[in-house]
Structure 1
Amino acid sequence: MSDSEIFARARRRLRRDRAAPGFGDFAFLRDHMLEGLLERLDAVKREFRDVLDLGSFAGDLAIPGARIAHLDAGFRFAKAAGGVQADEDRIPFADASFDLVIAAGTLDQVNDVPGALTLTRRVLRPDGLFLGAFLGAGTLATLRGAFLAAETDRPAARFHPQIDVRSAGDLLSRAGFALPVSDVETLTVRYAGLPNLLRDLRGMAGTNLLRDASPLRRETLFAAAQAFAGRADPDGRVPERFEIVYLTGWAPDPSQPKPARPGSATSSLAEALKPKG
């Protein structure tokens, strides 16, 4: 493990193995992401035969007529999916192996996101499609505020760095994708209390994976629970935000549309803005 890595790879594998047996009860974010990605896929009028499910969880991705390879960092998830255990920034497949890669719900837990996207582009065939979704900047804003209120003197490192939608698009371009698109969707879930939210995060393998994570003391948890409850709506439930960033990019191919060359326009902006006579 490199000293520059922010996530503990072994801890991530362990958390995923612990979550695997009951993951179906906590899969609502993964299910929502897959639904959004498959809607985007439906808009593409072509067939994809060889597909990589990158960060597959239990392997619930289904695309009629496609051969789907599954990869997950957790042994139990990879075994349940009949796939390969590996990290997303250490993809073991050969270049140009797939014409579609789908990554739903894991890229926000990867040490080297630019590297993962570059490897994803490399395992795609020319004009292959990448569709991704992950939790981005603004996620768990209420929980963050509750812990800041509980640890006002010395806030501990309890939350992962987050990627905003603009940076996500830039990462696609840096990784060599053509026609990159990024957009964001806000999903709000209302909780009766902090224990309910923490139960969901554990169940989806979404708890703190930082290498320098500090132990959570009982008094801190109690204070955070009180601060969380203080943000409740009149009905006693607390809204929590999940910001889902969606990514679309294509492996470069000469057949793809090219941006116009600077200066190639046939009329000037000044001409276009002149009043019509």
Structure 2
Amino acid sequence: MNSSAPPRIFSRERRISGLRRARVRQAHRDAARYIMDDMVEDILDRLEFIRMSPERVLVIGDWTGTLALSLRGAGSNVVEHDVATLDEERPIRGEPFDLIVSLSSVDRVNDLPGALLHMRNALADDGLMVASFLGAGSLPNLRRAMIASEPDRPTARMHPLVDNQAASALLQRALFKRQVVDSRRLTVSFASLDRLVSDLRDQGLGSALANVPPPLGKRAKKRADNAFMTAANDKGRVLEIFEILTLTGWKD
């Protein structure tokens, strides 16, 4: 039976460039980092709830270093990687790990089922994998603005996102046991579309599409700005939604 390579939706090189730019931007005092902070806090709460004290841990994608610092403080031996040092679409070296955590990373690979399977294979028996990333309910106002900017021939400018049902199927396909998918919403207010885009870039969440679209022209940008602000409340701010999906699976 012939197997075909997955379509190339994302560029690893663009992901690495976006991460490097985000780290530079984080030097500014007002740089946004609320998505990663929320994910790290959630992971620590989950581990405390299940009373897990893993000995060997792999953390992927946490550019703040906060999660690894907390886990090391609790006695864990932690290995940290990001897209520049770990290709999630290849087998993971240094296994087995008792816990693997992927934050805002695995959703931007071309072979997501393969990446999940690689993480499962890198787990020790009874090991736990937790992956958090932005889900399909995220950024509805930004999506509407991008569609309005080019009403005649819209260009693909935003990442395809995974929903709960697809995430559950992916965990099953990767042979995880006791798999759970849950989601939560983080709502953030913005005074402009430019501020939202700036926050995304601060957090390494800019576009990593392999096919780079041309920049918006002045008229298209104006249409996007106007469409975004149609959702503004009486204080002139748009409430944008970030839906965070968390996939949990055990290796039995």
- Pick aligned residue for 1:18 from 21, 24, 35: 21
Structure 1: which amino acid aligns with 2:49?
A
Q: Matches of 1:99 and 1:73 in 2, distance apart?
A: 21
* Equivalent residues of 1:193, 1:238 under 8 A apart: yes
- What are the equivalent positions in structure 2 for 1:1-277 lying under 5 Å apart? 4-23=7-26, 25-61=31-67, 62-63=70-71, 64-74=74-84, 85-94=85-94, 96-219=95-218, 220-252=220-252
Larger of the two Rg values belongs to structure = 1
Paired positions, count: 240
Amino acid across the alignment from 1:60: T
Task: Specify which structure has the bigger relative contact order, considering alpha-carbon pairs within 8 angstroms and separated by 6 or more residues.
Answer: 2
TM-score by length of 2: 0.90
Aligned to 2:66, the other structure's residue is in SS state coil
Distance, in Å, in 1 between the alignment partners of 2:217 and 2:204 is 21
**RMSD of aligned alpha carbons:** 1.5
- 1:90 is paired with a residue of what secondary structure? coil
TM-score where L is the length of structure 1: 0.82
Question: Do the aligned partners of 2:117 and 2:175 also contact (CA within 8 Å) in 1?
Answer: yes
Query: SS where residue 225 of structure 1 aligns?
Result: helix
Which runs of 5 or more structure 1 residues have no equivalent in the other structure? 75-84, 253-277
Deviation at 1:91, TM superposition (A): 4.6
Asked whether the 8 Å contact 2:36–2:64 carries over to 1, the reply is: no
Cα displacement (A) at 1:187: 1.0
Question: Structure 1 residues 42, 3: closer, same or farther in 2, change over 3 A?
Answer: closer
d(CA) in 2 for partners of 1:13, 1:114: 21
CA offsets per residue over residues 90-114 of structure 1, 9 Å max, x none? Answer: 25314x4210011111122122111
8 Å CA contact 1:55, 1:88 repeated in 2: no
CA distance, structure 1, for counterparts of residue 139 and residue 205 of structure 2: 11
